[in-house]
Every structure is written in C-alpha cells, then in structure tokens.
Chains A and B, each alone.
Chain A
Amino acid sequence: MAPRTFQITAGAAVAAFVLFPLWAVWRHSDALASLGEAEWAALWFTLKQALLSAFLSVFFALPLARALARTQFWGRQFVIMVLGAPFILPVIVAILGLIAVFGQNGIFNLLWTAFGFERISIYGLQGVLLAHVFFNLPLATRMLLLGWTSIPSERIRLAQSLGLTARGRFCCVEWPMLVQVVPSAFAVIFVICLSSFAVALTLGGGPRATTIELAIYQAIRFEFDFATAAMLGFMQLTVSLLAALIAVFLGMTNGFGFGLDRSLPCVARPAFEQFWDGMIITIAILFLALPLAILTITGAAGLLELPPSVWVAALRSVLIALGAGVLCLMLALPLCTRIGEVIGTLGIAVSPLVLGTGIFLIVRPYVNPFDIALIVTLCVNAVLSLPFVLRVLRPNVEQTSKTYLKLSQSLGLGPWAQFRWVFWPRLRRPLGFSAGLVTALPMGDLGVIALFGDAEYATLPLKIYQLMGSYRMEQAASGAVLLLSLSLSLFWIFDRWGRGDAAH
C-alpha cells in the first residue's frame, strides 16, 4: 500500500534494530565460538519442543477455531477475548496458574487420583508442551478464526446449494483457507517456542529440558562469553527465519479470496455438530480459563492493598504499551507484504537477552543506558509484537490494495489520502484488533528492563518479580491480577473501537 520508500525504511529499521545488536554482541568478543556437547543437546531439545508445541497448538486450535467460527452464543466475543489472556501473562505467573490446576496438588490431580488413577506429573516434556499449548493455543485459534471468518460467504452458500457433504465442504471451502493460514500460525508459534526459557526449564523438570535461551543466559550473565552468546543467538535467528520463509512460501497459493465477512445465520445445523462444537468450546474454556480463574481468585482480594508504587508502575506500563502500540502499527502498515512478514518475524526470532545486551553495547558510548531503558523497552516491545500484528493486518491490507489500488491511483490520490479514504475504513476493524493485541502483549513483558532498569522506574511485571523476590508471593499474585485486568481492558477498548457501532 505504502510507497516503496516507506516499505524500505520500515523494513530496514526493523532489520537493523534486530541484527545490529546481534552483531554488537559478537563484536564485543570478536571470536568464533565452538559449541560443546551441552549446547548441541540444548539446540536439539529446543527444536524438538518447539516443533511439538507448534504442532499441538495448531492441532487443537483447528477444531476450536472451527467451533467458534460457526457457533453463535451469548458472550462469544468475551470468551474469544479472555481466551487470549494466557498469551499476555508474565511467564512465572502463568506457570503458577498452571501448577494450581495441573501440579502435584492441583485440581486435575485431585480429581484424577479421586478416581483411583496414579498421579500424573506435569514435570517433563509433557509439562513443557502443556504450558506452550496453554500460551499459544489462543494465538493459533485467533489466527485460524480470522481465516474462517474471511472465507467468502458466497462459497459457503455455494457449497450448501450444491449439497456438498461435510467432506466435500471441507475440501472445497475450508482446505484452501487452511493451506494458507496454518503454515503461518505454525511458524509463529514455532519461533516463539524457540526462545522459551523459564517455562521449558521449570516444567521440563531439569537440565534435560535445557533450551538455547538458557545457554545464552548462562553465556551472557555467568560466563561473560559473548562469542558463544552471539553464536547461539545467530543459530536461533537462522532457524526462525528459515521457518518464517517456509511458512510464507507454503502460504503462497493464491486466490484464497475474501468475502463479505457477514455472519451467516445458519439454517438448522445438525444436532451432533452443535453438540460437538459446544463440547470443544467448553473444554477449551476450562483448560485456558481455569488457571486464570484460580490466579484471579487468589489475587483479587489483595488488589486494593497493593502499595501505590505498584499502581504507578502499572500506569507506566500502560503508557509504554500505548507507545509501543503506536510505533508497532506505524511499522506494520508499510510491512504488510510477503517479505515484510519475514522481516517482521525477526522481532521474535532473536533472543531478548542478546537483543538487550547488544542494544546496551551500542548505545553505551553515547548515552547512559539507564536513561533510555524505558524507551528501549518500548521499541523492543513494538518490534516484538510486529509478527502478530502483521499476520492480522497483511491479508486485509493486501486485499484492499488488490481491490482499490488501481482505482485510487487513477484518481491520483496521494499516500495520505489513500490511507485516509481507501485503507482506513476497510482496516479499522483489523487495526483495532491489532492495536488491542499490541498494547496488551507488552504489558506482561519483562523485556530488556531486567538487564538494565532502574528500580525507581519499574514496570508492572518487574514489580511483580520484585515482590516474588522478597517473599511476597500473595502480593505478587495481586499484581498479576492487576496486570491481567489492565491488559484485557486495553485489548477490549481497542478491539471494541475497531468494531465500531457495528459490534455484534
């Protein structure tokens, strides 16, 4: 949509923001590292768990998104929104929530053992996968749901009118959409899981579950071995980019098409189908919302007793989130192209620790890193959210371009007028959703602030970690509830705005 100069500037800015720090970390030691047995084991485990996590997340998201796409019920929008919550939680808080349900003495094991079964341990590969599905199932579901709702309604009606069987309907109507959306969803989740650290370690049950990210952490913070850190960071980046490229390539089949996105009042669906969809939605709600509900119940009581500093930190987090949201959308709009999507993946492809260290090394000679810690956090968060936003925006932008670009060019509209009159009205909805996503996401992110922050200017997640670090686990839980409700509110406000008056 945007003129080429915008595209190139945004692409170059994002690429530089990610690659330059990696280079700086490598430059700091200026050597090539050789990897030992432990590092290779970590690489292997990282790949294995990321592949499995991405597969399972998408696998379970398929029936869930399908059920949500064709079921209308009261509170559907709310459910879809709350299902996104795990994704924005600080890792440790989410782990505690999962433990409350699936841990040694969690609800699940209480019920399970009550039926006379052997207690099931969450610790091990199964725990890592469970947590990653918990985090990423909502993301996969959102992406697939978007795919389902963008199937042209004519095609669904055509299939009905031709009397196609369920299988025929799937092959003709849904399959082509899935071919395009699934690789992309798979790739994002795969890349996210590549940089998993605390989740993999804590629920993996020990050093068997060592990921590259832990090796990077060890290299930077304990060994001061920047060559190894850069090397590992580079490997992580390469694998991520490969995944992104494959996804973009696989998703290239054209002619997916876009319909009117009208909700279709369905004529009498078979009872078993309705029952099946209801079951799936219920199970998903239980799985995703139960840990959150327990967290909320334990934390809500202390909410009002949180010290003022936590509220100030919360306000600060909200401001950072809003800033990151604006920046992210500014970068995302020109990057809504195929190459843009690959470049956008860079943001989550590089280890946050390498990114933080690299930025530190770069800015150090010019400014005091402390002074710009929050600005850096804001930028990192914007870039970090880019891949998710691009996946939402790109199909819409491309479609609008395809349909209206010639018209607007023939009318001689400038870039701004094009945006205002052609793209804006059509993009308002996905933009609202993206803005919600991008402001909610960084709320839970500890980010680079952990590496160089100022205790006086802490963000909310940092406050939560501080509380935990000083034995105040209950207050930390209240902080988490605050974080959760703020994130969801931000998301809700923007999403709602995007849907405008036509919300239903």
Chain B
Amino acid sequence: MLHIKEVTVQNGSFSLSLDLPQMSSGIYAMIGPSGGGKSTALASIAGFQSLRSGAIFWQGRDISTDAPARRPVAILFQDNNLFPHLSIERNVALALTPRKQLTVEQRSKVSDALDRVGLSAHGEKKPAALSGGQQSRAALARILLQDKPILLLDEPFSALGPALRQDMLDLVAEIARERQTTVIMVTHTLSDATRIAKDIIFIDHGKADHPVATPELLENPPEALRQYLGNDAGST
C-alpha cells in the first residue's frame, strides 16, 4: 500500500498539495492541465523533490526522506530514458550494477529482460540505432530488472505513434498485473487512461482529487475535468 499523507511541496512560487490515502496495486492515471502539478507530484514520490510537510508511506514505513534510489520506486520519463553512449545491454544492466563487467547471473537476467520486451537481438546496439518504440522497450526492460513495487510513468511513450503506444501501454499493464505493481501514470491522453487505468486522479491548480474509478468518473465528470477535456484532451 502506498499512502501519500497530507503532502505539500513548494517549488518556487508553485505549491502542490497531495493527499492520496491507501493506493493499492493497479494502474492510476493522473490527468490534468499543464502546469497543474502532475510532474511535481511524481517528482516528490520519486524523491527528486523534497517535501515541505506531510509524509509518504510504503507498507507503513515512512520513505519521505529516503534517497531516490532507496525508495521502492522506478520511473519512466517521456524521453531521455537511456544513456546514449552506452549499449542497450549496459543501459538495462544499470538496474543491477554500475560496473562494466557483469557476472554470469547478471548477464542472464539482462538477456531475460531483453527477451521479455522482444529486444534480444539488439543488446549490443546503441540507443540511437533503435527506433523510438524499441527504445521505450529497452527502458521498460530496465524497469523490469529494477523490480520495484511502485512504477511512475511521466507521459510515457508520448513520442510514439498511437498504435505503438497502445502496444506499449498494454505491455506495461501486463507487467503490472503480473507483479502486483502500483503504477501512477501521468498522461495527457484520456484514451490512454481509459485503456489501462482502474482509477483516475485529476490534478489541477496544485491540488489533487482523490482517485475515482475510471468508468464512474467518465459518467459524471466534475466541472474542472469537463472543461479540461473540452479544451485539449480530446485531441490525439
């Protein structure tokens, strides 16, 4: 269980308050207008942003002061998920060790992960030699190896075409189901949210609403969400 308890964050003149009790495994979509606080919310869960007040608990333990790497959190960005000068294999292996030399066991884990995302033939290549979709898969392979119970997705796969993106989202959903992961996905695209998310968190003006089950929310959207959807979410 992830519990975000009365958290507030101050970033320059922007402030955000989050209060999301008891989030169990499954996929949560976080939607809302730009500048509403989505990215800041992810950053504070991942540990890139220190909290002004409140706390974040995982399985009852306060993780709010842990360094990013020590949190039970993996994160996938919109872009720049791979280090361009390292091979795909090395990029994925960073989840296990920063060393250049891999043990036999590590090597087999890496190749299993690459297998799982369908990139076994590309381990030696540099990211630039891969297509956008393949790059996303490579990043996902690393997430698999990191094996964290919480996965944060910051507008994932938005550089990909719609078909490819749906494939990737399905893959994420499959992995999350398998591993009982709690996924929080920031997205601009309502169709992405409805495709895989069980709950939706609407966030605007630095304030997050409690998660609402996706079908319920769509049936009876609050005014702010309606406006937002009317303006720029429909487009994709």
Identify whether the interface residues of B are mostly helix, strand, loop, or mixed: loop
- Say whether B80 contacts A176, CB under 8 Å: no
CA distance A179 to B84 in the complex (A): 13
**Cβ of A165 < 8 Å from any Cβ of B?**
yes
Interface members, chain B 1-29 (any A CB < 8 Å): 11-12
Q: Complex formed: what's the CA distance from A164 to B49 in Å?
A: 18
Interface pair B83/A173, CB less than 8 Å apart: yes
Give the CA-CA distance A268 to B68 in the complex, in Å: 11
User: Does B94 lie within 8 Å of A154, measured CB to CB?
Assistant: no
Does B224 sit within 8 A of A, measured CB to CB? no
B interface footprint on A483-504 (CB within 8 Å = 1, 0 otherwise): 0000000000000000000001
| Cβ-based interface call for B144 (8 A) | no
Given A163-B69, A267-B47, CB of A255 within 8 Å of CB of B84: yes
Contact B83 A176 (CB under 8 A): yes
A176/B98 in contact, CB under 8 A? no
Q: Does A415 contact B (CB under 8 A)?
A: no
Q: Which residue of B lies closest to A175 (CB)?
A: B85
CB-contacts of A237-262 with B (<8 A): 253-257, 259
Stretch at the interface among B53-61, B70-78, B114-122, B190-198: B70-78
Q: Does A35 contact B (CB under 8 A)?
A: no
Cβ-defined contact, A154 with B77, below 8 A: yes
User: A118-166: which have CB < 8 Å to B?
Assistant: 152, 154-155, 157-158, 160-165
* Chain B: CB-nearest residue to A152: B80
**Contact A158:B81 (CB < 8 A) given known A167-B98, A255-B127:** yes
Tell me, in angstroms, the Cα distance from A158 to B94 when the chains sit together: 10
- B85→A176 contact, CB < 8 A: yes
Any chain B CB within 8 A of the CB of A264? yes
Residue in B84, B98, B127 whose CB lies within 8 Å of A165: B98
Assuming the contacts A160-B47, A160-B48, A162-B146, asked whether A154 and B83 have C-beta atoms less than 8 A apart, the reply is: no
Q: In which size bucket is the chain B interface?
A: 20 to 34
Q: Does B104 contact A (CB under 8 A)?
A: no
Contact A265 B11 (CB under 8 A): yes
* B67 located at the interface, meaning its Cβ lies under 8 Å from any Cβ of chain A in the complex: yes
Q: Min CB distance, B231 to chain A, in Å?
A: 21
In the complex with contacts A255-B85, A264-B48, A267-B50, A160-B80 CB distance below 8 A: no
Q: Is A168 an interface residue (CB 8 A)?
A: yes
Is A13 part of the binding interface, using a Cβ–Cβ cutoff of 8 Å?
A: no
Q: Find B68's partner among A157, A176, A265 (CB 8 Å cutoff).
A: A157
One of A155, A162, A255 near B69 (C-beta < 8 A): A162
Q: A155-B80, A255-B84 are in contact. Are A164 and B98 (CB under 8 A)?
A: yes
Verify if B95 is at the interface (C-beta below 8 Å from A): yes
Contacts of B48 in A (CB 8 A): 157, 160, 264, 267
The contact of B79 among A152, A163, A165, A179, by CB within 8 Å, is A152
B86 at interface, CB cutoff 8 A: yes
Q: Does A339 contact B (CB under 8 A)?
A: no
A172 at the B interface (CB under 8 A): yes
* A-facing residues in B33-69 (Cβ within 8 Å): 43, 46-50, 67-69
B86 contacts across to A, CB distance below 8 A: 172
Can you list, as one digit per residue, whether each of A359-388 has a CB less than 8 Å from chain B (1) or not (0)? 000000000000000000000000000000
From A162, A167, A255, give the contact of B128 (CB < 8 A).
A255
A154 near B67 (CB under 8 angstroms)? no
Give min CB distance, B131 to chain A, whole Å. 14
Whether B46 and A157, one on each chain, are in contact in the complex, defined by CB atoms closer than 8 angstroms, is yes
**Chain A positions within 8 Å of B98 at CB level:** 162, 164-165, 167-168, 171-172
- Chain B residues whose C-beta falls within 8 Å of the C-beta of A176 in the assembled complex: 83-85
- Which residues of A sit under 8 angstroms from B68, Cβ to Cβ? 157, 160-161, 163, 267
Contact call A162/B94, Cβ cutoff below 8 A: yes
| Max count, chain B CB within 10 A of own CB: residue among A160, A161, A504 | A161
Minimal Cβ-Cβ distance residue in A for B49: A265
Q: A267 CA to B75 CA in the complex, in Å?
A: 17
A161 touches B75 (CB 8 A): yes
In the bound complex, what is the Cα–Cα distance between A163 and B46 (angstroms)? 12
Does B73 contact A155, Cβ atoms closer than 8 Å?
Answer: no
Contact A163 B67, CB 8 Å, known A158-B80, A158-B81: yes
* Inter-chain contact B70/A163, CB cutoff 8 Å: yes
By a CB distance below 8 angstroms, the chain B residues around A256 are 84
Within 8 A of A (CB), among B216-235: none
- Is A158 in contact with B49, judged by CB distance below 8 angstroms? no
Inter-chain contact A160/B79, CB cutoff 8 Å = no
Additional A-B contacts beyond A172-B94, A255-B127 (6; CB < 8 A): A160-B67, A161-B46, A172-B86, A173-B83, A259-B80, A267-B49
**28 residue pairs from A and B, CB less than 8 Å apart:** A152-B79, A152-B80, A154-B77, A155-B80, A155-B83, A157-B48, A158-B83, A160-B47, A161-B73, A162-B69, A162-B94, A162-B95, A163-B68, A163-B69, A168-B94, A168-B98, A172-B86, A172-B94, A179-B85, A253-B85, A255-B127, A255-B128, A256-B84, A265-B49, A267-B47, A267-B48, A267-B49, A268-B50
